[in-house]
Amino acid sequence: MDKDNVNAKFLTTSDKWMAASLCASGIDITRLDKTDRKRVKFYFRYTSDLEIKVGKYHRGELKVSPQELRMALDQIETKIHTDIQ
């Protein structure tokens, strides 16, 4: 995660699984940076809820349903491979 973006009120990550987990837990992706197709960046608007969920993700404590995770991952893959942002 790119901590420099906290000042810009965004947190970014290139971790697709983290992005999918956050989406499955109710956090929306604000935008994608697909400049480098090998390393897509996911932007999330910084909130205290986001900070809590990212911490839980890193500690292995973020709980999401497998179905929601799969749906979020499918949506992310679609966004990566199309021009939809």
CA 65 to CA 5: how far, in whole Å? 29
Higher pLDDT, 84 or 47: 47
| Residue with tokens 């992310």, as numbered in its chain | 76
pLDDT band (50, 70, 90) for residue 85: very low
CA 1 to CA 15: how far, in whole Å? 8
- What are the residues whose beta carbons fall under 8 Å from the beta carbon of 43, sequence distance 6 or more? 5, 10, 11, 12, 29, 30, 31, 32, 33
- What three-state secondary structure class fits 12? strand
Q: What is the pLDDT of residues 4-58, one digit of tens each?
A: 444 569 999 999 999 999 999 999 999 999 998 789 999 999 999 999 999 999 9
Residue 2 bridge partners (DSSP):
12
CA 25 to CA 28: how far, in whole Å? 9
What integer pLDDT is reported at residue 8 of this predicted model?
Answer: 60
